Chains A and B, each alone.
Chain A
Amino acid sequence: DIVMTQSPDSLAVSLGERAAINCKSSQNISYSSNNRSYLAWYQQKPEQPPKLFISWASTRESGVPDRFSGSGSETDFTLTITSLQPEDVALYYCQQYFSGWTFGQGTKVEVK
């Protein structure tokens, strides 16, 4: 199984400031042949299902604000929120879909 490890477990950021969440996979989840990384990011708010925010490591879903961006390749990935807004308070999960599907343990983003 591919193990996904996120850091930090929680993050408190002032409104308008930058937040960054890291995700590391236990093996390479990128294909050089198609230059794609099989990595997604989800946002989950209380009592709601996860919502797909980013796929292919850096492709935002329709309707996701452009303050959210994803980067990385192979085993190291980052979700960045450039200017934290109150509505961004949530849990964020990374997920690999290179081999089956496994999720990171989640990162809680709060307002400082």
Chain B
Amino acid sequence: QVQLQESGPGLVKPSETLSLTCTVSGGSISSYYWSWIRQPPGKGLEWIGYIHYSGTANYNPALRSRVSISLDTSQRQFSLRLTSVSAADTAVYYCARSKSSSSRSPFDFWGQGTPITVSS
């Protein structure tokens, strides 16, 4: 059974950079698309971006200028960097896997989510 676990700082100051890591266990990290999704308090879900095991990344246009996602296959981890954060970036951040090897597939495995608060 594939398991994903997010790790992160919990609290980030405005204008700083948020860094999160997702550790994958129980399955192959190859051949899939690995995404970050966030959910502000009481609100809906927003896809942030993905990285493919080949190294290809794609980002939500609304966040593209501030986001980067990287992959470390040896550690079975992928990471999110979000720069210049503000209170609007306060959310639960999830990592997730695409169900198939195609980018056109839904997310079948999710981490439990890590809450991130942006505050001074």
Contact = CB atoms under 8 A, between A and B. Distances in A.
Interface of A: 1, 38, 40, 42, 48-52, 55, 61, 93, 95, 97-98, 100-106
Interface of B: 35, 37, 44-47, 58, 60-61, 94, 96, 99, 104-108, 110-113
A30 B113 CA distance: 31
A55 B99 contact: yes
Contacts of A104: 44
Contact of B44 (A40, A98, A101, A106): A106
A84 B105 CA distance: 28
A52 B108 contact: yes
A107 to B, nearest CB: 10
Contacts of B105: 55, 97
A52 B98 CA distance: 11
A49 B35 CA distance: 14
Nearest to B47: A101
Contacts of B60: 100
B35 A93 contact: no
Contacts of A105: 44
B47 A103 contact: yes
A40 B110 contact: no
A55 B99 CA distance: 10
Contacts of A103: 44-47
